[in-house]
Amino acid sequence: MDMERSQFLVETSWLAEHLNDPHIRIVDMRGYVRTVERNGVQNAQYVGARDEYEQGHIPGAVYIDWSSDIIDLDDAVKAQVAPAARFAEVIGSLGIGDQHLVVAYDAHPSAQFATRLWWALNYYGHDQVVVLNGGFAKWLHEHRPLEESIPTYPPATFTPVVQPHLRTTATEVLSLLGQRQVTMIDAREPGQYTGEVVRDNGRPGHIPGALNIPRDEVINPATGTFRSNKELARLFSDAGVLPERQVVAYCNGGVAATTILFSLAMLGYPNLTNYDGSWNEWGSRQD
């Protein structure tokens, strides 16, 4: 079951030694989901953090705003992955080509924006992507170098090749309900799962049959890094998530779900799908 974690995660020490490697492109994915909760209703705003990037970032890193750069601006459902042509244009304009290894990092406690890029690149057929374990917080804590200058790279060719099995739709999810060979995972906080907290104007509750594994469960709170594969295997096994079943993960906007999918991928689970519309879409449906 275990796969080499280095296929998915790199440590800060490794990145520090490879900052000048021309084969690598480092991407700063810092951003926020800012929420205000009143009387059980949680309103959310999706924002980037380009200003923080400009104040200091890992040397050589380019910036992608998760909330605007790589989303579908024409989709009524918030935060859907950008269409292939737009995604390729953004990625290529940053100097990221088919030949590059992408190292993604953010400052989120669950690395969900970095894993969102990991998923999106894989969805478009680029599996040369890893996440910085511990992210920007660990890099800062270790007093590693920062820079304020904005690097520029020659435009590169990024060729999107859609992997349809990595993304699913509301209609497909509806058809999967109750099927024994499918496990649904809700990566949201427990309050949203139970319906005690409602996001924006959506319905309360969760997709029928879904398990609740909040995305922060895969992170070691003492270190801010991903739990060991042994710990992750126990977490998912205890929850009844079996590798022989298809796993469909969702959250509010298909972002936090990617942290769960990333963790399962490290364990070698072969059939992992992101319901990109997630509760932003499902919570507004009437069926």
Place of tokens 């990221």: 96
Q: What is the pLDDT of residues 232-270, one digit of tens each?
A: 999 999 999 999 999 999 999 999 999 999 999 999 999
Q: Does residue 204 form part of some domain?
A: yes
Distance CA 156, CA 153 (A): 8
Q: Which residue has the tokens 């989303």?
A: 71
117 and 193 belong to one structural domain:
no
Task: Calculate the CA 146 to chain-centre distance.
Answer: 24
Domain boundary among 115, 142, 163: 163
| Domain encompassing residue 61 | 5-163
Which domain-ending residue is among 163, 189, 217?
163
Q: Does residue 287 lie within any of the structural domains?
A: no
Residues 181 and 127 in one domain: no
What residue spans of 50-126 are helical by DSSP H? 50-55, 84-93, 112-123
- Whether residue 67 lies inside any domain: the answer is yes
Statement to judge: residues 47 and 173 lie in one domain:
no
Same domain? For 77 and 154 the reply is yes
CATH number, residue 181: 3.40.250.10
- Active-site choice (61, 251, 255, 256): 251
| Mean predicted confidence (pLDDT) in 98-120 | 99
> Could you give the C-alpha distances from 174 to 170, 179, 182, 273, in angstroms and in order?
6, 10, 12, 14
Same domain, 91 and 113: yes
Determine the Cα–Cα distance for residues 273 and 23; give it in Å rounded to an integer.
29
Specify whether the CB–CB gap between 102 and 126 falls below 8 A.
Answer: yes
Assess whether 126 and 67 both reside in one domain: yes
Averaged pLDDT of the chain: 97
Asked whether 206 and 186 are in contact (CB, 8 A), the reply is yes
| 88, 40: one domain | yes
Q: How far apart are CA 76 and CA 80, in angstroms?
A: 9
Considering 145, 163, 181, which residue would you say is the last residue of a domain?
163
Assigned domain for 278 exists = yes
Q: Which residues, including other chains, have CB under 8 Å from residue 229's CB and lie 6 or more apart?
A: 2, 5, 266, 267
Does 3 have pLDDT greater than 70? no
Domain total of the chain: 2
Instruction: Assess whether 184 and 155 both reside in one domain.
Output: no
CA distance between the termini of the chain: 38
Those residues with Cβ within 8 angstroms of residue 191's Cβ, 6 or more apart along the chain or in another chain: 197
**Does any domain span residue 203?**
yes
Verify that 118 and 241 share a domain, yes or no: no
Please indicate whether residue 193 is annotated as part of the active site.
Answer: no
- Look up residue 90 and give its amino acid: V
Question: Does the residue 157 lie in any domain?
Answer: yes
Per-residue confidence (pLDDT) for residue 287, from 0 to 100? 64
29 with 86, same domain? Answer: yes
Q: Is 25 helix (H, G, I), strand (E, B) or coil?
A: strand
pLDDT band at 2 (very low <50, low <70, confident <90, very high): very low
Q: Is 12 inside a domain boundary? A: yes
218 three-state secondary structure: helix
Question: What is the mean predicted confidence (pLDDT) over 167-192?
Answer: 97
Please check whether residues 71 and 135 belong to one and the same domain. Answer: yes
Is the same domain home to 109 and 200? no
More confident residue, 3 or 259: 259
